Amino acid sequence: MFSFATIEEVKQEIVLRGPVICQMTTYSDFRERYGHNVYRITSKNVPALHAMTIVGYDNDGGYWIIKNSYGAGWGDLGGYCLYSMEDSGLVTPNPTVWAIDL
């Protein structure tokens, strides 16, 4: 398992080898009311660290494509969501993201 120093390294890993695991702070509006479209934080109530899988990204739209573990009834297309890169907390040096070399 290894981590990344920059967001560009994360994006390159996704392009070259596939999904990566991340840890983000989520809030009650994300856990309880995520609908469709790109998630942007609207309330910082009840923060919690949550592990998710980043399966892709859209630079033009400014979002990560994330597979969540809340089950098929949550989010889009069976547990997926679009999460604003800016709000994710991962657009910083030393993001909390890992990959596993299989």
Give pLDDT, residue 50.
86
- Annotation: CATH topology of 2-99: Cathepsin B; Chain A (3.90.70)
Give pLDDT, residue 1.
63
| Cα–Cα distance, 80 to 12 (Å, whole number) | 21
Residue 17 CA to its chain's centroid (Å): 17
The tens place of each residue's pLDDT in the chain, 102 residues long, gives: 677 888 888 899 999 989 998 888 888 888 877 877 888 888 888 988 888 999 999 999 999 999 988 888 888 878 899 999 888 877 666 668 878 766
Give pLDDT, residue 57.
96
| Collapsed DSSP state (helix, strand, coil) of residue 86 | helix
Domain borders along the chain are 2-99
Strands in 20-26's sheet, in edge-to-edge order, are 2-3, 97-99, 20-26, 48-58, 63-67, 80-84, 38-39
- pTM here? 0.85
